Structure 1
Amino acid sequence: MLAASLLAVLAGVVYYLLTSPINLDKEARFYIQSGDTSYKIGHELSEKNWILDPMLMRVVARLHPEWVPKVGEYAIMPGMTILDLMALFDSGRSVVYSVTLLEGKTLDYYLATMAAKGNIKMTLKGLTNEQIAKRFALDVSNPEGQFFANTYQYHEGDTDFSILQHSHRLLEQTLADLWDKRDKNLPYKNAYEALVMASIIEKETGAPIERPLISRVFISRLEKGMRLQTDPTVIYGLGKNFNGNLTRKDLRSASPYNTYLHFGLPPTPIANVGKEAIEAALNPGETKALYFVAKGDGTHAFSNTLQAHNRAVAKYQKYHRRSDYKSIPESTVKENAQ
């Protein structure tokens, strides 16, 4: 009888310890590594003084052999019990982070953005464009423009490849859906050319209302056999040689991205894009304008003739330029300086 009574008391104590709040007064993080056993987890929790004894985790493992801790980072909240902890570790509901890949940015910028997070495993940094394109099984040798600008969720230790793979698949899906709904009278041979155009539109304006108009101007130029003559393509072709000021010498550079010298679209996108830019490329607005010039406030003045365009240039870029005006957005200068 005494032994039975002692066992009952012991069982009661264990139950009390398993169902009482752990010793924690504010949210904390706990990492489960590959191969961690219930006892090892218990030992770490005990070292943190969150639980009384490591053996308590082994007791839970015996009571619930179906619970298997999953690798990840977990948010531990005050008031949780040991049973709650093991159930959480078994659920795999680890902490979720997010990274925003902005419109109009290059792949190099995306990689730098992810590296700055500090908890994404970087596997693509230092690879050539050809090597990266091969990793993603692309049909082109330059992966620029192959990733959809969006905010993505990830877990600690996820790779840049896994995040960008999701981004690429989302781009392919979005591009395919919008291609099916496109204006049928467009000068594109395929959806890739539309993506190239979308990247130019994305770099030319940050004003959503202007995207369809910018698209129409460039499409009209293509249809009339005119050069696109767009600065962002030249800047992309210059790469790290661009110092923030586009010169006449730059406009004579032999790069295949120099749309002041070459007719048609550049060979690849010059940036990654969002849905709105693709929509604009595939469903342009209505305007007879063939020219536009930046006003210096983020918008543009559109002109139907070269004479009107020259007057607009004189107005906005020679005589009435703001003291803080830059020929391209500050973010572009910083991006190309990296």
Structure 2
Amino acid sequence: MWRNIASNAITFLMVGFFLLGGVILWGKTQYTAEGPLDQAICVQVERGSNMRKVSRDLEEQGAVTSAAIFRIGADYSEMTGNLKAGSFLVQPTTSMEGIVDVITRGGASTCGTEVVYRIGVNRVSVQVRELDPVTNRFVERAEFEPGVEETPEVYGEMKEKADTRLRVAMAEGVTSWQVVEALKGIEVLAGKVETVPEEGTLAPDSYEVRPGDDRAELLAQMAAAQARALADAWENRAPGLPVSSPEELLILASIVEKETGVPEERKQVASVFVNRLNQGMRLQTDPTVIYGVTEGKGVLGRGLRQSELRKETPWNTYVIAGLPPTPIANPGRASLMAAAQPDTSEFIFFVADGTGGHAFAETLDEHNKNVANWRKIEAERGAEAAGNASTGGN
């Protein structure tokens, strides 16, 4: 009798082990298999949250088939303690294992709301936008010019949220003075800026910030990035350039940056200035004259006067020979590389062509024809504008 009982117990125990092994195997398969999501979602992990709450939210959103298996898998892989606060983009069919990796990896939020402080050449603006996880595109919630336009309520709400991403986006061609003045107006930043960095030494780029970040430290980060970009451009420069140092290359790149907003033209514009320098011709570029008037402190906001074109300043390349003594703005990486690797051309002239770009010429006769064509376009536009004004724009 006892032998039969013992035999049955062993049988039941073995069956139990097999069943447990099957359950574990099934659970593991469920954990690593493709998930049920048919479109991307943004998973919000609040500060102070835990894996139990997150797993329930994921189950409610249809991202996982079982909250329990999700938690067990996270515990088994020892990832539960690595849960990070933020907003995370989860793509369609992502497995439970993949989702755990996304929400524990750390780093910047990959979706949700972001506030972008844009430092542009002509204006500083604040943009509040939110990523649509389905289209993977940002939808603008609000945009305003601080100190000029009324601050939208949504900005105050979003900048305080722990999972809102904050960025400072610096455009190519802004001056160091403009950057410093803009940073002073970003209230989420802290600290004073004692001196304006040297012109051209800040890298136009997008910089992620957090509330309380120091302005001077952000400027140091920008300067370090520009130093790396300049060193790379100098190391990879074409032979025979009429510049003798990285600093002169930076000056040339800043002029290229201010002369064209068309990316495809940068190397052509650079070739014109290289050819002029090689031939001993003056650069005769308006942006340098403008810098001599403003010294980088704001936008001129009007056309140049003949007296300003004739007035000698350290930057007026209609009057001085060669390069000006300093950059006239902060050039981006593309302009640095254009100055370092310009097109090989015979161009020594260029003028606007009415499309936003320029018409290039090798001879003065060709250039005069291009100038005449541009004057014609200007006159036609002026007549059209006057006609619209007289008819009320109808």
The TM-score bracket by the shorter chain reads: 0.5 to 0.7
Q: Would the aligned equivalents of 2:88 and 2:109 in 1 still touch at CA under 8 Å?
A: yes
Specify the alignment match of 1:26 in structure 2. 39
Alignment RMSD (CA, Å): 5.4
Specify the alignment match of 1:102 in structure 2. none
| 3-state SS of paired residue (1:183) | coil
CA–CA distance in structure 2, aligned partners of residues 130 and 254 of structure 1: 30
Q: How many residue pairs get matched?
A: 300
1:259 aligns with 2:314: no
Residues 196-228 of structure 1: per-residue CA shift (max 9 Å, x gap) = 11221243344356335312344147x45x4x3
| Residue ranges of structure 1 left out of the alignment (5+ in a row) | 98-105, 326-338
Q: 1:296 to 1:195 in 2, by over 3 A?
A: same
Q: 1:146 to 1:6 in 2, by over 3 A?
A: same
| 3-state SS of paired residue (1:172) | helix
| 3-state SS of paired residue (1:121) | strand
Q: What one-letter code is carried by the residue in structure 1 that aligns with 2:239?
A: R
CA–CA distance in structure 2, aligned partners of residues 79 and 303 of structure 1: 58
Equivalences for residues 117-132 of structure 1 within 5 A: 120-122=165-167, 128=180
1:215 aligns with 2:273: yes
1:174 aligns with 2:232: yes
Q: Would the aligned equivalents of 1:22 and 1:78 in 2 still touch at CA under 8 Å?
A: yes
Q: Would the aligned equivalents of 1:212 and 1:280 in 2 still touch at CA under 8 Å?
A: yes
Please, which of 58, 74, 81 is the counterpart of residue 45 of structure 1?
A: 58
- Tell me the TM-score normalised to structure 2 length: 0.53
| 3-state SS of paired residue (2:324) | coil
CA–CA distance in structure 2, aligned partners of residues 274 and 262 of structure 1: 27
1:75 aligns with 2:127: no
Q: Would the aligned equivalents of 2:359 and 2:370 in 1 still touch at CA under 8 Å?
A: no
Q: Would the aligned equivalents of 2:28 and 2:73 in 1 still touch at CA under 8 Å?
A: no
Equivalences for residues 188-227 of structure 1 within 5 A: 188-205=243-260, 206=262, 207=265, 210-220=268-278, 223=280, 226=282
CA–CA distance in structure 2, aligned partners of residues 148 and 123 of structure 1: 10
CA–CA distance in structure 2, aligned partners of residues 45 and 16 of structure 1: 17
| 3-state SS of paired residue (1:229) | coil
CA–CA distance in structure 2, aligned partners of residues 22 and 286 of structure 1: 57
| Residue ranges of structure 2 left out of the alignment (5+ in a row) | 1-8, 112-117, 131-163, 171-177, 185-190, 383-394
CA–CA distance in structure 2, aligned partners of residues 53 and 314 of structure 1: 71
Please, which of 352, 357, 364 is the counterpart of residue 294 of structure 1?
A: 352
Q: 1:322 to 1:178 in 2, by over 3 A?
A: farther
Larger RCO: Structure 1 or Structure 2 (Cα < 8 Å, ≥ 6 residues apart)?
1
Residues 292-333 of structure 1: per-residue CA shift (max 9 Å, x gap) = 44344523353656xx589447623445657349xxxxxxxx
Q: Would the aligned equivalents of 1:74 and 1:93 in 2 still touch at CA under 8 Å?
A: no
| 3-state SS of paired residue (2:317) | coil
CA–CA distance in structure 1, aligned partners of residues 351 and 169 of structure 2: 38
Please, which of 286, 295, 300 is the counterpart of residue 231 of structure 1?
A: 286
- Tell me the TM-score normalised to structure 1 length: 0.60
Per residue, is there more strand in 1 or in 2?
2
1:85 aligns with 2:99: yes
CA–CA distance in structure 2, aligned partners of residues 110 and 40 of structure 1: 47
Query: Based on CA coordinates, which of the two structures has the bigger radius of gyration?
Result: 2
Q: Would the aligned equivalents of 1:26 and 1:78 in 2 still touch at CA under 8 Å?
A: yes
Q: What one-letter code is carried by the residue in structure 2 that aligns with 1:19?
A: Q
Specify the alignment match of 2:240 in structure 1. 183
Q: What one-letter code is carried by the residue in structure 2 that aligns with 1:74?
A: F
CA–CA distance in structure 2, aligned partners of residues 81 and 314 of structure 1: 62
CA–CA distance in structure 2, aligned partners of residues 283 and 169 of structure 1: 20
| 3-state SS of paired residue (2:43) | strand
The Cα shift of 1:232 comes to 2.0
CA–CA distance in structure 2, aligned partners of residues 284 and 53 of structure 1: 60
